[in-house]
Amino acid sequence: MSVTAIYELPVPIWISTEVLGERIGTGIGNLTFDVVMPGAAGPVGSPPQIEGVNVPTTVDSSSDLIVWTQQFAAFSSDPESTALCRIVVQTTTEVGDPLNLPYELARVIDLWFDAVRTWSEAMTGQDLDPNHRVYSATSHGAQLTMLDPEPTTDGPLALTLTTPRVMPVPAQAWRKLLELVAAGHEPPLEETLSRDSRNAYGRGHYRRSVIDAASAAEIVLHRLISTSLTAANMPNGDYRKKLEKLGKQPLGELVAIVEKADIDLDVDTAGLQELVDMRNDAIHRGITPGSFQAFAPVQAVMNLLGRHGQWKRNAEQPDFGDGWEIVEDTATA
């Protein structure tokens, strides 16, 4: 017995149109299933073709078409891309009593999405958190009912347009991440922290953004120093002792060790030093930086990950996502 169901993604994920129409194996925990991708035809995509299964094209008994894919307001780095709204999942293994299989699928499907969106966010910079949606427009004053002067328009008095730049998940990356989710793998921790930092920045949570960025930088610098330096690289006994106790060194000392050892990070080390001070202010004094203050240090960490993290990037990331592709993956290769 297998279960076949339409699953509406809690947040649409921008993907390459190359994967439309494909059947890709995935799963979570002990439950495995195929993701059957919709077709590309029409402005809202088309239902997947599954032998022996009649996939509906309209919502219930209405004439409204089911939206499978859609082009939302966004600046995409790949013209051959779309937002994936729905898929069909079809189980491929049984877990326990076959009669409980629908329940088992229902119990894990949102956990599966959370794992998929974490990989997608870490790889591309998309913000896919269903609990903190980021929209292309934000209304202001929607709860105000103007009495004097009388309103001249219906709806909110003001809008802020924030049309995002989007890097879609490339086709091969989409296939790979579905496989990795089924195997129970997670992105490198520094990439998840970088994701958290970017998303916090995008929501105006600059203190949280700085703290997560600093944690990501510590992980990368610890790894870089431990694999690149020996006591012979240290200028004096104090720094040799710090190298011996590398695991206990905070971010500021890690940056100092790198500078003393003349390691060329090929990133803005001044931005990293700013991050040290900003993180200390955030943690020890509860100070929240402004958006302009936080931008350069957070950007420096993202560039550090691109150069020295487990995912090597093709270039410096200019604006938190657009055109910053992974060219080498030493974490999951």
Whether residue 48 has a cis bond before it, omega within 30° of 0: no
pLDDT in tens, 50-75: 988 999 888 877 788 999 999 876 55
Residue-level pLDDT at 8: 97
Q: Closest Cα partner for 260 from 216, 225, 213?
A: 225
Residue-level pLDDT at 176: 96
Residue-level pLDDT at 325: 62
Q: Closest Cα partner for 116 from 176, 175, 178, 170?
A: 178
Distances in whole angstroms, Cα of residue 6 to Cα of each of 21, 85, 133, 227: 15, 11, 22, 47
Residue-level pLDDT at 238: 77
pLDDT reading at 330 higher than 60: no
Residue-level pLDDT at 318: 45
Backbone Cα Rg of the chain: 24
pTM for the model: 0.85
Most confident of 37-41, 129-133, 244-248: 37-41
pLDDT in tens, 98-113: 788 999 999 999 999 9
Identify the residue with better confidence: 15 or 322. Answer: 15
Q: Which helix (H) or strand (E) holds 116?
A: helix 101-124
For residue 288, the SS3 value is coil
Q: What is the mean pLDDT of residues 166-179?
A: 93
Q: Which amino acid is at 125?
A: G
pLDDT over 70 percentage in the chain: 86
Residue 320 is given by DSSP the state S
pLDDT reading at 87 higher than 90: yes
> Please, what's the b/e burial string for 265-298 (b: 16 or more CB within 10 A of its CB; e: otherwise)?
bebbbebbbbbbebbbbbeeeeebbeeebbbebb
* Residues 239 and 297: beta-carbon distance below 8 Å: no
pLDDT in tens, 255-290: 988 888 778 888 878 899 999 999 999 999 999 999
Report how far residue 131's alpha carbon sits from residue 122's, in angstroms, rounded to the nearest whole number: 17
pLDDT band at 17 (very low <50, low <70, confident <90, very high): very high
In sequence order, what are the residues at sequence separation of 6 or more whose Cβ sits closer than 8 angstroms to the Cβ of residue 129? Answer: 11, 117, 199
Report residue 143 CA to chain centroid gap: 32
Residue-level pLDDT at 320: 45
Q: Please report, to the nearest 10 degrees, the dihedral formed by the alpha carbons of residues 302, 305, 306, 309 taken in order.
A: -170
Residue-level pLDDT at 241: 80
pLDDT in tens, 126-171: 999 998 766 656 677 777 777 888 877 776 667 665 556 778 999 9
pLDDT reading at 28 higher than 60: yes
pLDDT in tens, 199-228: 999 889 999 999 999 999 999 999 998 887
Q: What is the mean pLDDT of residues 81-89?
A: 95
pLDDT band at 185 (very low <50, low <70, confident <90, very high): very high
Residue-level pLDDT at 79: 78
pLDDT in tens, 288-329: 999 999 999 999 999 999 899 998 876 554 444 444 566 666
Residue-level pLDDT at 264: 82
Phi, psi (degrees; rounded to nearest 5) at 181: -60, -45
> Please, what's the b/e burial string for 115-143 (b: 16 or more CB within 10 A of its CB; e: otherwise)?
bbbbbbbbbbbbbbbeeeeeeeeeeeeee
On the 0-12 / 13-18 / 19+ scale of CB atoms within 10 A, 177 is buried
Tokens representing residue 241 in the block: 């002792």
Q: Which residue ranges form the domains of the chain, and what is each CATH number?
A: 1-186 (no CATH), 187-329 (1.20.120)
Report how far residue 69's alpha carbon sits from residue 38's, in angstroms, rounded to the nearest whole number: 8
